[in-house]
Structure 1
């Protein structure tokens, strides 16, 4: 019986750290004016063996809790802010996928997502693009941040990246208890 309660406690803890919605409670969609977008390479944590990446960080600067999609539209763009056609990989088991509830962001809190991609020209055919910006769409608003990087993919396919679902920053989530 004790193990059962520990399992429930772990699920509750993971749900609260991930920024899960409160059942029956919904929050308005965040507007671009109340969000800041930043990236963090975490001192090279994402770099190595022809791979690169970054931590995408959205912070709520507004006066109230708001929500964002758990997997917003993310695009890599050139210097003129035109899409490079880089595609987000669909994680295994996401066909068509589970329901992804929006993630609530309290005032002053952050949500993060890990982005990773192949950065070395390791495929035949030299299929690489260079990015200047990362654009994140929330509702009808687009936020941009400079991201200088090279993304590569196999010939005949656009370069791609993986993206984790947005989750509340664990440090802040634990401090708010």
Structure 2
């Protein structure tokens, strides 16, 4: 699907690999990655493992974004900044309220629900399938320099001139209308 391509107007970046034991590329989220407001949902951030980042990478940022949310601006589910270049994996659940699975220097920015944590997928019932872009951004700076209370959009704007590479995994979710 090319509609609402979140990368369409961003500078091109080298590609590298991200995988997950929580979700396969193009597949539906596991119940654990859904919102706790849905049956079986647990708001657990996905496991992520990446490799092949471009030379010169000094840090990473991770974002999870739903461009299909009925908001006019999509919905940011998770944003993490200042992950050291030596880190290449985040465990499932790293994005809890305390960021317990994140490296010491990394921090979570408030998502669109204004919580500095991962919030699971919860597309409106009957709205159709939603895509969730899970992106590891390889950056040319050790710290991106945004405040911890910045929005994911501010993080994205600030990162735009520092992205060396982008590893993308896409998940889906759909909530059917009640009968």
- TM-score, normalised by the number of residues in structure 2: 0.36
Tell me which protein shows more strand as a share of its residues.
1
- TM-score, normalised by the number of residues in structure 1: 0.36
Tell me which protein shows more helix as a share of its residues.
1
Say which one has the larger Rg. Answer: 1
